Amino acid sequence: MSALSELYEQALKARTRAYAPYSGFAVGAAVLSSSGRIYAGCNVENVSYPCGTCAEAGAISAMHAGGDRLIKDIVVVAGGSKLISPCGACLQRIFEFADKKTKVHLADLEGIKKTYTIAELLPVAFSEEELGK
């Protein structure tokens, strides 16, 4: 199995663990770090709706807690009739741990359908340069 196939399978598996009783929209994400390790996350909703956690945020937090700092690839998988892209906040989260080669793969329940670089999805990302660092 290729690394990308394994990444998709881990995102799909994480999706089955989503806690989405309010929206009914389960999302899974899996990050392949530059070390080759895979970290997964799922969305976790809260009755106070804006307090939930996106799948991408969960996977990135797991990666950081695991000691890795650079995302090589990320797969985001959801059901439905259209592919979903990470939300704006998650695009910024991905960017924080990405380089220009980082790929964002959008998938449905049948597999990966589209691939973008983080720069294509967030061409004018907020960065340390804006902070004067």
Catalytic residue set: 56
Report the distance separating Cα 64 and Cα 23, nearest Å.
28
- Beta-carbon-side half-sphere exposure of residue 1 (alpha carbons within 13 Å): 8
Give the separation between CA 86 and CA 98, rounded to whole angstroms.
Answer: 14
Q: Answer yes or no: are the C-beta atoms of 54 and 90 closer than 8 Å.
A: yes
Amino acid symbol at 71 = I
Question: Are residues 29 and 40 in contact, defined by beta-carbon separation less than 8 angstroms?
Answer: yes
Spatial distance between the Cα atoms of 20 and 46, rounded to a whole number of angstroms? 8
